[in-house]
Amino acid sequence: MKFGNIWIWLLSIGIPGLVILLFYGPKLAPHTDFTFLPRIYASINFITVLVLLFAFRAIKQKKINLHQKMMKTALGLSVIFLVLYVIYHSNAESTKYGGEGVLAYIYYFILISHILLSIIIVPLVLITFSKALRANYESHRKWAKWTWPIWVYVASTGVIVYIMISPYY
């Protein structure tokens, strides 16, 4: 197994594992107010969606350098999101959704699909990026056909989940 592949799988297992630990483990700074963070990381998700859409447009227009810059920006934004998300959830209790009826079903459908796909997107993004970095563009394109829409969905539903749960913070 190549060195890069080892990192892809370590991160793909480690990141979701860390998030699960933070949700169920002891809070690291329970008396610190981090309630401002969800608004910030939801905004970062929204910007990520826009960047991913612009990156898609750039590659369709054969603007490869712009596409590369946009995708690196999307990756950087996702890393910043993850750091803020980890900080928040390592210090705050989970917020319970208070909606009822059909809205609750919609919320939980979006939340569950978001969570499951957010686990899947980590290796997909890392593999797709590694293909591009290795100039294996044929394989990169094949992976990107799956990675890009899932990434857009995960970032978009992150914003939707925030909007739906924000009245209950």
For 5-57, write each residue's pLDDT tens digit: 888 888 899 888 888 887 777 777 777 888 999 999 999 999 999 999 999 99
Which of 27 and 109 is assigned the larger pLDDT? 109
pLDDT at 131: 94
Contacts of 150 (CB under 8 A, 6+ apart): 117, 120, 121, 124
Domain ranges of the chain: 3-168
Q: Across all residues in the chain, what is the average pLDDT?
A: 92
- Contact of 91 with 103, CB cutoff 8 Å: no
Model confidence at 2, in pLDDT bands (50, 70, 90)? low
pTM of the shown model: 0.89
By C-alpha distance, which of 89, 66, 70 is closest to 19?
A: 89
- CATH code for the part of the protein at 3-168: 1.20.120.80
| Pairwise CA distance, residues 163 & 45, whole Å | 12
pLDDT band of 3, cuts 50, 70, 90 = low
